[in-house]
C-alpha cells in the first residue's frame, strides 16, 4: 500500500493568513509552507483513496502526478474517507464538485449527519455530480470500493476516538463524529493506522495502532495553552480534543510504547514549536524515535 502525506498542517495551514507567530513569520519569509491535513492511499498505485479532503486539495492534487487525470477527463481518486466533520477535513469535498460521477464518501454516522445538515456539503453537492455517502459502522471492517462497487483492495476499520464535536455543531451529534482508521492492504497485509485527531492515547488508539507498519498521529499542539500564548482567544488543546505532544502525559511519553514500526505526527498546528528544526522540542521528538510529518512524505507498506 502506498501512502502519501498530501498535507501535514492542521486547520489554517502554515502560514495561517492571520497569524504572526514565529513559525508563520518564518514560513512567509523563507518558505516552504505546509498545506492542510490530507493523506492519499492506494493498494495498486492506480486507484487512490483520499483520507480527508482539505481546503488545499486543489494544490495538493496538482502537485502529485499519481493524482492527475489519465485522459481528457477523469480522476484516479476513487473514494474519500472522512475521519471527522471539521472544516479542514471536509471543505475539499466542495473542490471536487467538477467530478462527472458521484464520489463515494465514507464517514462515520455522525459525520454523515453533520455533512447532511449543519455543514450541508452533501446537499450542496447534489446540484453537481453529487456524492454517495457510505456510512462506516463503528468498529466494523469495511472493504473500500469505487463508485461501481469494485474493490480497492483496502480494508478499513473506523473506531471512535476521544474528541469533542466541531465548533459549528450547535448540537453534539449523538452518533460518532470522530474516528481513527485502521487500513489494511488486502494483498500485502501492510497496515496504516491513521489518527489525525485524538484527545488521548487510550485503549482505542492502542487497538487501532497495534502492530501497524505506520501510525500517522495527531501532532496538533505541543502544549495545552499554546494557542492562547500565541495571542488567540482560544480553548486549550485538551478542550479542543487534541492531546498535546509535549509535557507530562503528552503523546510523546506514550507513542513509543505502542509497538508500531514508524510513528509520524500529522495535523500539526502552525504554532507548534516542534515545526522549527532547530528547536528543543524537535530534538525531543526525534530522540523519541518519532518523526515530524511533512507535506509530500511517502511510505510503502
Ligand atoms: C480541529 O482539528 O480541532 C479543528 O479542525 C479546529 C478548527 O479548525 O476549527
Ligand atoms: Mn482539524
Ligand atoms: Zn502561526
Residues 225 and 183 sit within 8 Å (Cβ to Cβ): no
Mean pLDDT of 275-289: 98
Distance CA 13, CA 301 (A): 27
pLDDT at residue 173 is higher than 90? no
pLDDT at 237: 97
Distance CA 150, CA 136 (A): 17
Confidence of residue 232 (pLDDT cuts 50, 70, 90): confident
Whether the CB of 197 sits within 6 Å of ligand 1: yes
Please identify, by atom number, the ligand 1 atom nearest to the C-alpha of residue 87: 5
Whether the CB of 90 sits within 6 Å of ligand 1: no
Please identify, by atom number, the ligand 1 atom nearest to the C-alpha of residue 267: 2
Separation of CA 276 and ligand 3 centre (Å): 12
Nearest CA owner, ligand 1 atom 8: 11
pLDDT at residue 28 is higher than 80? yes
Give the Å distances, CA to CA, from 217 to 5, 67, 233, 252, 291. Answer: 12, 24, 26, 11, 10
Contacts of 130 (CB under 8 A, 6+ apart): 102, 103
pLDDT at 172: 73
Please identify, by atom number, the ligand 1 atom nearest to the C-alpha of residue 86: 5
pLDDT at residue 174 is higher than 90? no
Q: Ligand 1 pocket: which of 86, 236, 266 to mutate (most atoms <8 Å of CB)?
A: 86
Neighbours of ion ligand 3 (CB under 5 A): 19, 21, 24, 270
Please write down the HEC assignment for all residues of 183-217. EEECCCCCEEEEECCCCCCCHHHHHHHCCCCEEEE
Rg (CA), the chain: 18
Separation of CA 221 and ligand 3 centre (Å): 12
pLDDT at 165: 92
Which ligand is closest to the CA of 273, given by its number? 3
Whether the CB of 219 sits within 6 Å of ligand 1: no
Mean pLDDT of 140-146: 98
pLDDT at 58: 98
pTM exceeds 0.95 for this model: yes
Please identify, by atom number, the ligand 1 atom nearest to the C-alpha of residue 240: 3
Cβ-based neighbour number of residue 296 at 10 Å = 15
Mean pLDDT of 253-277: 98
pLDDT at 272: 98
Mean residue pLDDT of the chain comes to 97
Nearest CA owner, ligand 1 atom 7: 11
What single DSSP character describes residue 102? P
pLDDT at residue 75 is higher than 90? yes
Confidence of residue 53 (pLDDT cuts 50, 70, 90): very high
Whether the CB of 91 sits within 6 Å of ligand 1: no
Separation of CA 88 and ligand 2 centre (Å): 5
Confidence of residue 282 (pLDDT cuts 50, 70, 90): very high
Q: What residue has cell string 513559525?
A: 23
pLDDT digits (tens, 9 = 90+) for 120-136: 999 999 999 999 999 99
Amino acid at each position: 500500500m502506498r501512502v502519501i502525506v498530501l498535507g501535514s498542517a492542521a486547520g489554517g495551514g502554515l502560514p495561517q493568513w492571520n497569524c504572526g507567530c514565529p513559525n508563520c513569520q518564518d514560513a512567509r519569509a523563507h518558505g516552504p509552507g505546509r498545506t492542510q491535513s490530507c493523506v492519499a492511499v492506494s493498494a495498486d498505485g492506480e486507484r487512490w483513496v483520499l483520507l480527508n479532503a482539505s481546503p488545499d486539495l486543489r494544490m495538493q492534487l496538482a502537485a502529485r502526478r499519481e493524482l492527475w487525470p489519465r485522459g481528457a477527463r477523469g480522476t484516479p481518486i476513487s473514494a474519500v474517507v472522512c475521519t471527522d466533520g471539521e472544516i479542514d477535513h471536509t471543505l475539499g469535498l466542495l473542490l471536487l464538485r467538477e467530478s462527472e460521477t458521484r464520489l463515494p464518501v465514507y464517514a462515520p454516522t455522525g459525520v454523515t449527519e453533520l455533512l447532511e445538515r449543519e455543514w450541508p456539503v452533501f446537499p450542496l453537492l447534489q446540484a453537481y455530480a453529487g456524492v454517495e455517502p457510505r456510512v462506516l459502522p463503528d468498529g466494523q471492517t469495511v472493504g473500500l470500493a469505487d463508485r461501481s462497487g469494485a474493490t480497492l483492495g483496502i480494508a478499513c476499520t473506523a473506531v471512535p476516538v476521544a474528541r469533542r464535536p466541531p465548533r459549528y455543531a450547535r448540537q453534539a451529534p449523538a452518533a460518532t463524529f470522530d474516528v481513527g482508521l485502521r487500513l489494511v492492504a488486502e494483498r500485502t497485509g501492510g497496515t496504516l493506522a491513521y489518527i489525525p485527531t485524538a484527545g488521548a492515547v487510550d485503549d482505542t488508539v492502542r487497538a487501532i495502532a497495534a502492530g501497524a507498519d505506520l501510525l500517522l498521529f495527531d501532532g496538533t499542539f505541543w502544549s495545552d495553552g499554546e494557542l492562547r500564548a500565541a495571542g488567540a482567544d482560544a480553548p486549550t488543546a485538551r478542550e479542543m480534543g487534541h492531546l498535546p505532544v509535549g509535557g507530562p502525559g503528552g503523546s510523546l511519553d506514550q507513542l513509543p510504547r505502542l509497538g508500531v514500526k514508524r510513528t509520524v505526527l500529522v495535523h500539526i498546528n502552525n504554532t507548534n514549536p516542534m515545526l522549527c528544526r532547530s528547536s528543543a522540542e524537535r530534538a525531543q521528538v526525534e530522540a523519541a524515535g518519532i518523526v515530524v510529518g511533512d507535506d509530500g512524505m511517502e511510505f510503502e507498506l
